[in-house]
Structure 1
Amino acid sequence: MDLVIGRVVKSHGIRGEIVVDVRTDDPDSRFAKGVTLRGRAPRGGGESSYTVAAARNHSGRLLLSLKEVADRGTADAMRGVLFLIDTAEVSSGDDPDEFYDHEIEGAVVVTVNGDGVGVVESVLHLGTSDLLSVRAADGRELLIPFVADIVPEVSAARIVIDPPDGLLNPEQW
């Protein structure tokens, strides 16, 4: 399974630099000079390898120079490329409160009373907080705020939630 560590947002300047939306907690090593990146083109495109020639921060964004990209036209064509690593290369470590999305996708969700809710399909990262997208047994998508007050227990196989009234039955609103 693949894990996205960055996405090309746009080109920058005339020398082929690209602006990358970083999606890793370790950008200094993942995008270090000399590192080979695996990139997948958008909309089902193929994969290519790129070698980092230089990386720098600019106005809060990561600018990359790649050996294979020498001009603005080539950089423009990379818009939307995802940089990937294999999930086997990462682990959330020893912190029990830290998880990568792929580690909890597929986990069974139950209430604190033991009632089945559904299965985690994905984790949505929004500006203010994260949400668990849970597929209920009846096919509905439930969006559960991924906060300690509502999700008191998390493991790779099972997530326990303590939902406030109405969260699981929006028709009650």
Structure 2
Amino acid sequence: MELLIRLFIAFLKIGTFSFGGGYAMLPFIQKEIVESNTWISMSEFTDIIGISQMTPGPVAINSATFVGYKVGGIIGSIIATLGVITTSFILITIINKLLSKFKESKVVKAALLGMRPVLIALIIYAFIDLAKEAYVDLKSIIITLIIVVILLSKKVHPILVIVIAAILGVFFYA
């Protein structure tokens, strides 16, 4: 029971103190589940990010579900997922009621504009942390460069990019 409470509180913190969506949440998720609670390794965290790209749903919810299941089974996955969505659910309910009153407020608009740069910084920070784990050798860098060229030269669907990367992985590592 204590573990489930810790799981709920960890993901409640992630959901409460993260702003800007999945990628901006990555540093918070990593801090809580890899560093503070050591529920998973950095390698597993990197895998979660990859799996989250292939499965429907936000990265925070996918992470909560995966880690919750690993730590506490099906009940753990439910508890962790509820933890990560609780604050958002409450805030959206409240904001929905108040937004019509303040949507034209200069202060609200200014605050939101002020938060945009920090979201980019959080995404860059998450990228650097994930890159340390993902770029293990020259082959992984070559795969990245091939994918970047494909993405910049053609408008390719993300699923196709993942499939191409998987094929390149099999080619280089099998």
TM-score bracket, shorter-length normalisation: under 0.3
Compute the TM-score of the two structures, normalised by the length of structure 1: 0.25
Q: Which structure features the higher share of strand residues?
A: 1
Larger radius of gyration: 1
Q: Which has the higher contact order (CA 8 A, sep 6+)?
A: 2
Q: Which structure features the higher share of helix residues?
A: 2
